[in-house]
A and B are shown apart, each in its own frame.
Chain A
Amino acid sequence: AQSVTQPDIHITVSEGASLELRCNYSYGATPYLFWYVQSPGQGLQLLLKYFSGDTLVQGIKGFEAEFKRSQSSFNLRKPSVHWSDAAEYFCAVGANNAGNMLTFGGGTRLMVKP
């Protein structure tokens, strides 16, 4: 069965500082990996995805993520955080069959200090 672990429940960074959110997954084959962001009271917005090919993927809002098969990781990074990035971030793995089920990690809540 697939699973996703986000080891950090809360992270606080200063505005302008760099950010890295950790994600580890377990899946028997090549995974489909996603990062979503959720602002309070909102649904989930897709930041980026990895299917195959280049292991460094670029997303919206200046985010990027790197897929490392040897470490079963898909960490999200941003070089300079803005106050508007404060939100909850979810890593997810998708099954490579029909039915589209995403398995989510527990989420990391990001707080940004001015």
Chain B
Amino acid sequence: KAGVTQTPRYLIKTRGQQVTLSCSPISGHRSVSWYQQTPGQGLQFLFEYFSETQRNKGNFPGRFSGRQFSNSRSEMNVSTLELGDSALYLCASSLWGIGGDEQYFGPGTRLTVT
């Protein structure tokens, strides 16, 4: 069974631009979560989607948004990029997105904002 895939793997953007990252979950998984990883803040939860609905959201500004499609694929968007948005963005999928569900992570998208 194929794992979680994320595209693109690397991205360089300029401050003020916007960016869209994509995540394809493991086949059959309906929950997709997004995390930001930075050296200073570590791994932080962004949001989680299940059946095209956002069920949970971390403490990030409204510039960070996401969506999920009927095939469970998910995208996250960051508008008006800031230098501090440079990070590794990780997507994780799980079957139902309930407590204790195993989450399987993709390789991440490395975003650099200049």
Contact = CB atoms under 8 A, between A and B. Distances in A.
A65 B108 CA distance: 26
B24 interface: no
B107 A100 contact: no
**How big is the B interface, by class?**
20 to 34
B79 interface: no
Contacts of B33: 100-102
A98 B97 contact: yes
B45 A44 contact: no
A55 B105 CA distance: 25
A102 B42 contact: no
Nearest to B46: A101
B99 A96 contact: yes
Interface of A: 32, 34, 36, 41-46, 49, 51, 90, 92, 94-107
